[in-house]
Amino acid sequence: MEKLKIIGGSRLCGTVKISGAKNAALPILAACLLTPEDLILHNVPDLADVRTMLRLLAGMGVRCRREGEDVILQASDIRSTVAPYELVKTMRASILVLCPLATRFGSARVSLPGGCAIGARPVDQHIQALRRMGAEVEIDHGFVDLQSKRLKGCKIVTDMVTVTGTENIMMAAVLAEGDTIIENAAREPEVVDLANCLRAMGARITGDGTSRIVIEGQPALHGAEHTVVSDRIEAGTFAVAAVATRGDVLLSAARPADMTVVLDKLRAAGAEVTTGEDWIRIRMDRRPLAVSVRTEPHPGFPTDMQAQFMAMDCIAEGTSHITETIFENRFMHVPELQRLGADIQVEGHTAVVNGVRRLEGAELMATDLRASASLVIAALAAEGESDVHRIYHLDRGYDRMEVKLSALGANIRRLSE
Ligand SMILES: CC(=O)N[C@H]1[C@@H](OP(=O)(O)OP(=O)(O)OC[C@H]2O[C@@H](n3ccc(=O)[nH]c3=O)[C@H](O)[C@@H]2O)O[C@H](CO)[C@@H](O)[C@@H]1O
Ligand SMILES: C=C(OP(=O)(O)O)C(=O)O
């Protein structure tokens, strides 16, 4: 196992290039199953989750080639439509192969993702939609077992806004007979990026980025080339780290248009935020002011930024309220932040954070992906040395985070333990 050793107190200064988005790359990789022709992807981040998805696809017979940030996929000789438990259990996004397999091959056996550290991860909406489109779906020994003739388009109103659900249903619909309308659809930029890739493959989709997506099913899709959208959560994480360390950081290859609420909250914390079309500069020369956040589906404040903001609020002037509405157990960073000296009380879905003047380095245990990022930020802002253990969580979603932070002046090293 590996850990990060961080000596806090350095201001982050300089330029960091933001990678392609994990949460866009994963559904787009799964989309290769929709065509026998080549899908050529650029700006694919080098992450544990991406490697897991490539292993899953390769196990089905997809030819996968990685050349730097490019990935070339060809699903012309699929020999298996099974997604085994061993791979799905390490990455919930594996469920994204279900609908491409269903709609192109009429057969799939995909392990249920089950819950994970941050909460239950149900997929009932995906299954209900597939049944409405005519598939026979059973749950068998922890697997979603599906058989279908050509799926039939229909109107689907999801019970709640679901990002992966919207992505899966969109992929089912692109090869279905007739039109599918998704009401209450997720509006996340990653949903739009998947729609852009599917359109490049010949799909007919309108309304992505709104809560009503219309898909006109096609008999087949073809090969395409697509560049994965910039990771707004990685950008947000580096932006918060800049604010927490009173730094001056330019995020290049970032998309401020996808991050309005996060950037507004950083301005409310006292940061000077300037933006161009594909860059963001964050300057901070004072102790942050406390900012309260409440997580909501896009365009609201993203749940994937909640833990990082809590780290910043720990050293802020004043009291903040952080409310998590998407996941029932996404406060596991709280006891670890308390180990650094943070003053936090959890009351139901809300954490009340009283900012303290200083945190002190400690041994810390990462519990999930964004919790890990929050501990790294807090350790960078703390006085003295911290060790962040179990960073395999961090590696699921951040491309060489410690290398990027070192280049900005952080004192951070990856060590074996
Ligand atoms: C709306 C939202 O913010 N979604 C987040 C969610 O996406 P992810 O796609 O993982 O989760 P969903 O958007 O599907 O889930 C949103 C909510 O709906 C519930 N649900 C979902 C599907 C389903 O079939 N049944 C059901 O009850 C979930 O339990 C959850 O409370 O986690 C990702 C990783 O942290 C984030 O990037 C997404 O921003
Ligand atoms: C929790 C996350 O990922 P996943 O949905 O893949 O678990 C995340 O991206 O913050």
Q: Are 313 and 322 in contact (CB under 8 A)?
A: yes
Structural tokens at position 27: 């559904």
| Residue 21 CB neighbours (<10 A) | 27
Query: What's the count of helices (H) and strands (E) in the chain, helices before strands?
Result: 14, 24
- Alpha carbon nearest to ligand 1 atom 35, residue: 304
Rounded distance between C-alpha atoms, residue 16 and residue 246, angstroms: 16
Catalytic residue list contains 197: no
Give me the number of domains the chain comprises.
2
Are residues 131 and 271 both part of a single domain? no
At 408 the three-state DSSP class reads: coil
- From 178, 195, 227, the end of a domain falls on 227
- From 227, 259, 280, the end of a domain falls on 227
Atom of ligand 2 nearest to the CA of 397: 9
> Does the ipTM exceed 0.95?
yes
Rounded to 10°, the helix 22-30/189-200 angle is: 30
Question: Binding-site residues for UDP-N-acetyl-alpha-D-glucosamine, please?
Answer: 92, 121-125, 304, 326
Higher pLDDT, 328 or 198: 198
Q: Are 68 and 62 in contact (CB under 8 A)?
A: no
Per-residue pLDDT at 114 exceeds 90: no
Q: Are strands 2-7 and 13-17 parallel, antiparallel or unpaired?
A: unpaired
Does the Cβ of 303 fall within 6 Å of ligand 1? yes
- From 205, 227, 249, the end of a domain falls on 227
The 8-class DSSP code of residue 329 comes to T
Arithmetic mean of pLDDT, 190-211: 98
Rounded distance between C-alpha atoms, residue 96 and residue 25, angstroms: 11
Atom of ligand 2 nearest to the CA of 49: 6
| Angle formed at CA 145 by CA 144 and CA 147, multiple of 5 degrees | 135
Structural tokens at position 121: 């991860």
At 123 the three-state DSSP class reads: coil
Confidence of residue 116 (pLDDT cuts 50, 70, 90): confident
Q: What is the pLDDT of residues 129-182, one digit of tens each?
A: 999 999 999 999 999 999 999 999 999 999 999 999 999 999 999 999 999 999
Does the Cβ of 304 fall within 6 Å of ligand 2? yes
Confidence of residue 345 (pLDDT cuts 50, 70, 90): very high
Are residues 214 and 271 both part of a single domain? no
Q: What is the pLDDT of residues 48-95, one digit of tens each?
A: 999 999 999 999 999 999 999 999 999 999 999 999 999 999 899 999
Q: The domain that contains 282 carries what CATH number?
A: 3.65.10.10
Rounded to 10°, the helix 98-105/124-132 angle is: 20
- Alpha carbon nearest to ligand 1 atom 10, residue: 164
Confidence of residue 115 (pLDDT cuts 50, 70, 90): confident
Q: Residues 6 or more apart from 145 whose CB is under 8 A from it? A: 108, 109, 137, 138, 139
Are residues 110 and 37 both part of a single domain? yes
Are residues 361 and 272 both part of a single domain? yes
Are residues 282 and 382 both part of a single domain? yes
Are residues 344 and 398 both part of a single domain? yes
Q: Could you identify the residue written with the tokens 């491309």?
A: 399
Are residues 367 and 412 both part of a single domain? yes
Does the Cβ of 10 fall within 6 Å of ligand 2? no
Rounded distance between C-alpha atoms, residue 187 and residue 183, angstroms: 11
Task: Give the mutation target among 163, 188, 261, 323 for probing the ligand 1 site: most ligand atoms within 8 A of CB.
Answer: 163
Atom of ligand 1 nearest to the CA of 370: 35
Are residues 140 and 246 both part of a single domain? no
> Count of alpha carbons within 13 Å of 285, Cβ hemisphere only?
1
Are residues 47 and 119 both part of a single domain? yes
Rounded distance between C-alpha atoms, residue 323 and residue 319, angstroms: 13
* Ligand 1: centre distance to CA 327 (Å): 8
Q: Residue 396: in which H helix or E strand, if any?
A: helix 392-397
Domain range for residue 125?
A: 22-227
Task: Give the mutation target among 89, 90, 396 for probing the ligand 2 site: most ligand atoms within 8 A of CB.
Answer: 396
Instruction: List, in sequence order, the alpha helices (H) in 245-391.
Output: 260-268, 306-314, 333-339, 369-381
Are residues 198 and 275 both part of a single domain? no
Are residues 325 and 218 both part of a single domain? no
Task: Give the mutation target among 26, 112, 139, 160 for probing the ligand 1 site: most ligand atoms within 8 A of CB.
Answer: 160
- Alpha carbon nearest to ligand 2 atom 4, residue: 92
The catalytic residue among 116, 154, 197, 314 is 116
Are residues 6 and 113 both part of a single domain? no
* Ligand 2: centre distance to CA 384 (Å): 30
- Of the listed ligands, the closest to the CA of 374 is 2
- Of the listed ligands, the closest to the CA of 22 is 2
pLDDT at 362: 98
Arithmetic mean of pLDDT, 278-300: 98
